[in-house]
Structure 1
Amino acid sequence: MALEDRQTAPVDAVQHALRVLESVDTHRHGVSAEQLAREIGVPVGYLGQLLTMLQRERYLGFLPGGGYVIGETLVMLGAANHDEALAEKLRTVLAQLRDDVGAAVYFSRYDDGEVRIVDFADGPNAPRVNEWVDFRSAAHASAVGKCLLSQLDHSSRLEHLSRHRPARLTSRTMIDDRTLLGELERQPATVPTLDLQEYAVGTVCAAIPVTIGKMVACLALSMPLAEVHRLRPAVDMLNERAAPVLLSMSI
């Protein structure tokens, strides 16, 4: 299944969003969209969509008399209990993404040489993957693992595979080191990484990289094979709605 190249819209949106928040923070009594557009140097039409997202995620508030101010989410993330607030915000965003794309959604990182599922959102109509083999040992077969490994340099990939030797989990699992490394090397950052029954029979997954400084992370979704026809539109929507996750991790 060919999925078209994804653009960097979520990353661009986050960069502009951070500039918006910095600018709003300097206007204690509120600031209009028109003034923000002038200060940041973006069209008011584009800024309007960004402001809507920032209000929806409660990064911004709007004064009754007009003007944007810093919202409660930004205040919480800037408080002493930042980690707790960030975890709660991530749970909320993932739950919304689950409902939007109609699939289980995951946020994962590569920490200290291991694949780590930081959090996920599933439900009765969005079943999560049955972790029948530890994800840390199955990076070669899962969309999450391959997406994370593709963001590493060549020597780091080799080191990982030397500790976690590729094992055949299904008839579709790639276990040849050279072929796997070549695939990871050629994986474009703008194209989703797929797992079409490579980790588990009856399940398909896709993952997109989440670029936040030096953090190696990704957003992913999974669904039953019977719903594979929804994979492409679901991944497109996941990519479009990734900005809130990127933003929360950037503050």
Structure 2
Amino acid sequence: MRAQDGPTLITSVQRAFRLLEAVSGHVNGAPAKQLAREAELPLATAYHLLRTLVHDGYLRKLDDGGFVLGDKVQALRTTSREQALLSRVRPVLAALRDELATAAYLTFYEEGEIRVAEIVDGPRAPRADLWVGFEDAGHATALGKCILRELDDDARRDYLSRHLLADLTPRTVTSSPELLRRIDASPVAPAVTDLEEYALGTVCVAAPVYSGDILGSLGVSMPAARACRMAEVLARLIPTADRVTRGLSLTM
């Protein structure tokens, strides 16, 4: 690498950031000449960087020739906000893990799928062997069944129509009507349990949480031999889920 390559690359990045900052000040878009002037860049340099940023999705060129922030910048904003929200509740999940000596899991129902947002485990609280992804095992996990319990009938039908109820263990319920009957009749409602339905030797329990209007679930897993502690776990889990909802619902 030549000596000037490093500084030249850094300078290009700095110029690109200056253009992004200039574009962010114009909600309805601004033309290249105006952006070059505001970013204090030669017009030719601005044109080159603008084309690159448009190509990579960080900017979008409007029909009138103006430039606005692109989808990638919006995605970065969303990711940043989500990480900031999660940072608020990680200490709560860690406290739950330490008190119960169980791994703690946080999931959300987004775009029709159950996705893991956070797992807090440790040497004394190892996570379950996630041998099947949560997207394909919502019917067999406490976290997934908890979300299904909270969904309305149409959303339930939609989810179940798109997911095979695979037989993961001899205890897995693979009939949709029976699964919904058991979920609705959960003896620990609003929580739901998984008694070795996802993995033999492991039991889980989960309670619903919300991040604004986004549904999720907070759960813990433990060896089946500790299922006798379920009442103690529930007494701690349900108020913790309420606390997580409050933390996730605070305005950023």
Assess same fold via TM > 0.5: yes
Residues 89 and 247, structure 2, Cα contact 8 Å, conserved in 1:
yes
Give the CA deviation at 1:240. 2.8
Greater mean deviation of Cα atoms: 149-158 or 233-242: 233-242
TM-score normalized with structure 1 length: 0.63
Distance (Å, rounded) in 1 between the aligned partners of 2:241 and 2:215: 15
Q: Is 198-207 or 128-137 further displaced after alignment? A: 128-137
1:139 pairs with 2:138: yes
**What's the CA shift for 1:158?**
1.5
Q: Which has the larger radius of gyration?
A: 2
Match of 1:29 in 2: none
After superposition, the C-alpha distances for 1:148-181 in whole angstroms (9 at most, x for unaligned) are 0111111211111111110111110000122112
Matched residues in 1 for 2:124 and 2:164: separation? 34
Q: Which digits, 9 at most, give the CA deviation of each residue in 1:18-44, with x for residues without a partner?
A: xxxxxxxxxxxxxxxxxxxxxxxxxxx
Q: Deviations over 1:187-239 (max 9, x none)?
A: 58943200000000000000011245422111101001122222220121122
Q: Which residue of 2 aligns with 1:162?
A: 161
Q: What is the match of residue 245 of structure 1?
A: 244
CA RMSD of aligned residues (A): 1.9
Secondary structure (helix, strand or coil) at the match of 1:139 reads coil
Which fold has the larger relative contact order, with Cα–Cα distance below 8 Å and residues 6 or more apart in sequence? Answer: 1
Q: Contact 2:109–2:216 at 8 Å: present in 1 too?
A: yes
Deviation at 1:89, TM superposition (A): 2.0
Are residue 96 (structure 1) and residue 95 (structure 2) matched? yes
CA contact (8 A) 1:150 1:187 kept: no
Length, aligned pairs only: 171
Q: 2: CA distance between counterparts of 1:84 and 1:177?
A: 35
- Normalised to the residue count of structure 2, the TM-score between the two structures is 0.63
Write the distance in 2 (CA, Å) between the matches of 1:204 and 1:148.
17
Listed as ranges, the matches of 1:218-229 within 5 Å are 218-229=217-228
Q: Is the 8 A contact 1:189 1:209 kept in 2?
A: no
Counterpart in 2 of 1:210? 209
Query: Which residue pairs with 1:115 in the alignment?
Result: 114
The alignment partner of 1:241 has SS state of helix
Give distance in 1, aligned partners of 2:82 and 2:208. Answer: 22
Q: Is the 8 A contact 2:92 2:240 kept in 1?
A: no
| 2:171 counterpart letter in structure 1 | R
The Cα offsets for residues 60-98 of structure 1, whole Å up to 9 and x where unpaired, read as xxxxxxxxxxxxxxxxxxxxx644432222222211111
Distance 1:116 1:249 in 2: 16
Cα distance in 2 between the residues matched to 1:172 and 1:189: 19
TM-aligned CA distance change 1:184 to 1:228, over 3 Å: closer
Other-structure match for 1:235:
234
Q: Percent identity over the alignment?
A: 41
